[in-house]
């Protein structure tokens, strides 16, 4: 039998990607940018090439929804095979279990699984992929994928004939610009020249693709929405932040910032009201978040007990503790006498300029908006750090939530206001519990400054507060 090997004709940007996909260094490659940048073609053709070069290997194509994988990426797959004159008799598609298998010819024995990467509440940790074994794989439209799906899948490669063929496990991720883990783990480090070994990022533009640049260009020119246009037409990863009051890079920088640590400790807590919400508490030293605790479906009595022991163990004054005071949170505030209750809808707190002693003219709709704006200013000025040991998933939650804290589009003379909690919940699909816990730290910025004396003692520094209200 005559062996056939597909001959590819990538355009220069795809060629760059091939160099990474075929080298002995790269394990994770993100090829991401504008629509029409040749992303899907690259993924299909790379897998085709690998199946033919290395018969018996096993690969996957994963996308958020299998129906969309079938409705678009699979169609490109068929076109790629036709383009390379692969005989129909060489392969079959199993519609029941969704895999492509080469049954004849040079690639005989190779196989590609089509995976549905959608988040399923009954499988939050993507354990359904936990026992799969692949040579390598491709995540299509990575912007739609939960971080955990990526995190699990990257451990499932390098397990099928990689040793026999001396193949490095490789994961290709194609995507449009998205402000999620792709930005944080690939785009930002790429921009700063800090990509870890084995990671690569290639920015793709529709103008790179000579096959369709004209037709895509005409279509993309008609996009009016500026954010969508920036992402899909211009392949711009730093697209507008849609009124988010937080600068995106500044949010991410919190995890690596070092800020001056004061001696003052605080605890801020968002207490769960409903079954699904999380109770999230954070312990701060100055503006550094040192510890984060969260629980789901926890009764208020347990919350009170845990909060009390955290306050005591960390030596936090009760008056340096703030818990939200709506609904269930109020119960905790009542039981822990001396802690502050945070009422988001309360009137903003008047501030006095410490130098001029004059009241600072600020115009906020309510206390919640006031604290969000003050907190955002601190974050954007790189004055907040998070040293608490957090998982990638927890970081992801924080980043996602803060991005949804947007200002309403007011005319200049109206009070500054944050969009309603309901619209934030709608955008996130959950309550912004971490963001609320963080924002409440700003509450202490609004309290009159206290005089305090530091006493050096065996075992550390103890702060003695004087003249503290409440």
Under the binding rule (CB under 5 A), the answer on residue 176 touching Mg ion is: no
Q: Binding to ligand ATP (CB under 6 A): which residues in 35-54?
A: 35-41
Nearer to ligand ATP, 34 or 300 (CB): 34
Nearer to Mg ion, 40 or 110 (CB): 40
**Least Å from the CB of residue 243 to ligand ATP:** 26
Interface with ligand ATP (CB under 6 A), residue total 15
From 1, 2, 3, 9, residue interacting with ligand ATP (rule: CB under 6 A): 9
Q: Please, are residues 91 and 103 in contact by the beta-carbon 8 Å criterion?
A: yes
Q: Binding to ligand ATP (CB under 6 A): which residues in 76-115?
A: 76
Nearer to ligand ATP, 46 or 126 (CB): 46
Binding region for Mg ion (CB under 5 A) out of 33-41, 126-134, 156-164, 289-297 = 33-41
**Least Å from the CB of residue 441 to ligand ATP:** 41
Under the binding rule (CB under 5 A), the answer on residue 209 touching Mg ion is: no
From 40, 180, 307, 385, residue interacting with Mg ion (rule: CB under 5 A): 40
Nearer to Mg ion, 126 or 138 (CB): 138
Q: What does 463 bind: Mg ion, ligand ATP, none (CB cut-off 5 to 8 Å by kind)?
A: none
**Residue 14-33 contact track with ligand ATP, rule CB under 6 A, x = bound:** x-------------------
Q: What does 5 bind: Mg ion, ligand ATP, none (CB cut-off 5 to 8 Å by kind)?
A: none
From 212, 247, 257, 447, residue interacting with ligand ATP (rule: CB under 6 A): 212
Under the binding rule (CB under 6 A), the answer on residue 173 touching ligand ATP is: no
Nearer to ligand ATP, 220 or 336 (CB): 220
Nearer to Mg ion, 39 or 278 (CB): 39
Please name the residues in contact with 352: beta carbons below 8 A apart, sequence gap of 6 or more.
358, 359, 360
**CB-closest chain residue to Mg ion:** 40
Nearer to ligand ATP, 37 or 432 (CB): 37
Q: What does 9 bind: Mg ion, ligand ATP, none (CB cut-off 5 to 8 Å by kind)?
A: ligand ATP
Binding region for ligand ATP (CB under 6 A) out of 5-13, 117-125, 236-244, 445-453 = 5-13
Residue 406 to residue 37: CA distance in whole angstroms: 31
Q: What does 37 bind: Mg ion, ligand ATP, none (CB cut-off 5 to 8 Å by kind)?
A: ligand ATP
Interface residues with ligand ATP (CB under 6 A) are: 9-11, 14, 35-41, 76, 209, 211-212
């Amino acid at each position: 039998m005559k062996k056939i090997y597909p001959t590819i004709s990538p355009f220069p940007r795809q060629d760059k990607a091939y160099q990474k996909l075929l080298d002995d260094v790269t394990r994770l490659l993100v090829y991401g940018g504008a629509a029409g940048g040749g992303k899907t073609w690259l993924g299909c053709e790379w897998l085709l090439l690998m199946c033919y070069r290395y018969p018996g290997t096993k690969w996957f194509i994963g996308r958020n929804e299998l129906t969309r994988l079938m409705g678009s990426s699979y169609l490109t797959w068929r076109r790629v095979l036709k383009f390379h004159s692969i005989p129909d008799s060489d392969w079959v598609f199993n519609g029941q279990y969704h895999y492509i298998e080469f049954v004849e010819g040079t690639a005989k024995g190779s196989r590609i699984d089509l995976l549905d990467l959608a988040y399923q509440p009954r499988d939050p940790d993507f354990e359904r992929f936990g026992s799969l074994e692949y040579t390598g794989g491709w995540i299509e439209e990575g912007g739609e994928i939960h971080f955990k799906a990526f995190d699990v899948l990257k451990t499932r490669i390098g397990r099928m004939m990689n040793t026999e063929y001396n193949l490095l496990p490789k994961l290709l991720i194609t995507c449009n610009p998205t402000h999620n883990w792709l930005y944080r783990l690939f785009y930002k480090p790429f921009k700063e020249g800090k990509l870890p070994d084995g990671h690569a990022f290639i920015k793709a533009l529709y103008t790179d693709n000579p096959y369709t640049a004209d037709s895509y260009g005409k279509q993309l020119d008609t996009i009016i929405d500026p954010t969508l246009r920036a992402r899909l037409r211009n392949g711009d990863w730093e697209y507008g932040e849609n009124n988010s009051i937080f600068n995106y890079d500044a949010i991410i920088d919190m995890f690596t910032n070092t800020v001056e640590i004061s001696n003052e400790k605080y605890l801020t807590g968002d207490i769960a009201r409903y079954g699904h919400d999380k109770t999230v508490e954070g312990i701060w030293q100055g503006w550094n978040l040192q510890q984060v605790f969260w629980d789901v479906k926890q009764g208020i009595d347990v919350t009170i007990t845990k909060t009390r022991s955290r306050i005591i163990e960390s030596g936090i004054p009760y008056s340096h503790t703030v818990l939200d005071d709506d609904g269930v949170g109020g119960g905790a505030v009542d039981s822990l006498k001396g802690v502050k209750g945070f009422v988001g809808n309360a009137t903003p707190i008047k501030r006095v300029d410490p130098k001029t002693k004059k009241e600072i003219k600020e115009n906020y709709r309510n206390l919640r908006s006031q604290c969000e704006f003050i907190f955002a200013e601190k974050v954007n000025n790189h004055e907040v750090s998070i040293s608490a040991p957090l998982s990638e998933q927890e970081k992801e939650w924080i980043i996602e939530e803060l991005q949804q804290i947007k200002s309403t589009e007011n005319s200049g003379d109206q009070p500054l206001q944050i969009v309603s909690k309901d619209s934030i919940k709608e955008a996130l699909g959950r309550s912004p519990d971490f963001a609320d816990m963080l924002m409440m730290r700003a509450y202490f910025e609004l309290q009159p400054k206290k005089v305090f004396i530091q006493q050096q003692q065996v075992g550390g520094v103890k702060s003695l507060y004087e003249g503290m209200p409440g």
